[in-house]
Structure 1
């Protein structure tokens, strides 16, 4: 992609952490419980439907007791998450903050959780075109099946320009950061021929609504 490309770039700051909702946690595949760990009050998670209220179980040498499975994030608490890189591998850490107390919930491979979320939401564009996941996530899509050279922006049809406007809005209003590189080779047999490379902050992709929006944009020219 060294020639004839159109670029939309917002060189903002990749967020170090982000707040999420219960619907996001559910889409990641977890239940949030209030109970005790080793007899002390705590919040903790288990895979969706795996545990029940009133259940006591042992995990990694500790005893857990579930008093209540939360339906919403408690009013005085916040669900937060961040991406960390350790020994070349990304991890999603998420925790619950309740006033001055922090309850670690899990540290997982973000690629596994994103796949779980995208499959649950049937976000096939994200599943098909993701290339790398770290602090940022890269998507690459190539639908070029003709011999041609990239067209200048002035020759882009209205539908293609509409996609570019959507990308600008996402970068400006939602992400605050992003890089979108696009080449358009024209339309043949009602098929748009194009290549794109899109880099976005990974944390935002754990938000169900944002993930749906990105998936929609990736499929707008299909």
Structure 2
């Protein structure tokens, strides 16, 4: 079989499972999430105006000032909780092909943007910091949705659904549950069976909402599920 014929065979027999809907763009997070992302929440001044903003965890101290991205910041207090009556929401915003995580404090009267950071770097650092090796290894692209890819072994003709072994069946079943809780997901699985050494051969692509992947509970479930394909 030549490469062109193999690509056609894989395309015609790859299994696709979709939880239709728009990728979740916004989610509420708690104060601990900022710490998990490696950030401090700071009260101070930004270019001379009262502001709340984030800084690298442990990097800044009260009474100091610093320059960043052409702006002047003064640190008054490092917060240990969200301001009273405020909630933290984060969303993904795309700009010229790059995903940015935008964080806002909302207290009913106003929305205050406190962070705007490139989502790919933040997500990768988050996964590595919190022992999510399978997520970190699988990240291929980050937008409103993040593409996770795992592949192993020589490609061949994908196995039809009714001939799948327990591992891929269990993965698909649990992935569907996770996607239902997130409201979106798309799994593309070409499972080629085992080789002569009983190692599984497959190619897996999974789209999940990026803001959900930045939630430690969701991320841990996804990492555990990805570990099934060793």
After superposition, what is the alpha-carbon deviation per residue over 1:160-185, rounded to whole angstroms, capped at 9, x for unaligned? 21111110101112x11110011211
Equivalent of 2:52, from 37, 43, 56? 43
Q: 1:138 to 1:38 in 2, by over 3 A?
A: closer
Return closer, same or farther for 1:111/1:150 CA change in 2, 3 Å cut-off.
Answer: same
- Do 1:20 and 1:79's aligned partners in 2 also have CA atoms closer than 8 Å? yes
Give secondary structure in 2 for the equivalent of 1:190.
coil
Could you tell me whether the CA contact under 8 Å between 2:159 and 2:192 is conserved in 1? Answer: yes
Q: Which runs of 5+ in 1 are unaligned?
A: none
Alignment of 1:62-101 (within 5 A): 62-67=72-77, 69-101=78-110
* Cα distance between partner residues in 1 of 2:125 and 2:73: 28
- Compute the RMSD of aligned alpha carbons: 2.0
Aligned length: 218
5+ unaligned residues in a row in structure 2: which ranges? 1-9
Is 2:201 the counterpart of 1:193?
Answer: yes
Contact 2:186 2:206 in 1 (8 A): yes
Separation in 2, partners of 1:183, 1:38 = 53
Q: 1:221 to 1:107 in 2, by over 3 A?
A: same
Q: 1:183 and 2:190 equivalent?
A: yes
For the structure 1 residues 148 and 90, does the alpha-carbon distance in structure 2 shift closer, same or farther, using more than 3 Å as the test? closer
**1:141-162 C-alpha deviation (Å, 9 max, x unpaired):** 11123x6421111111223211
Can you list the C-alpha shifts for 1:48-106, whole angstroms capped at 9, x where unaligned? 00112x32314345342323x22333451111111112222222211211231222212
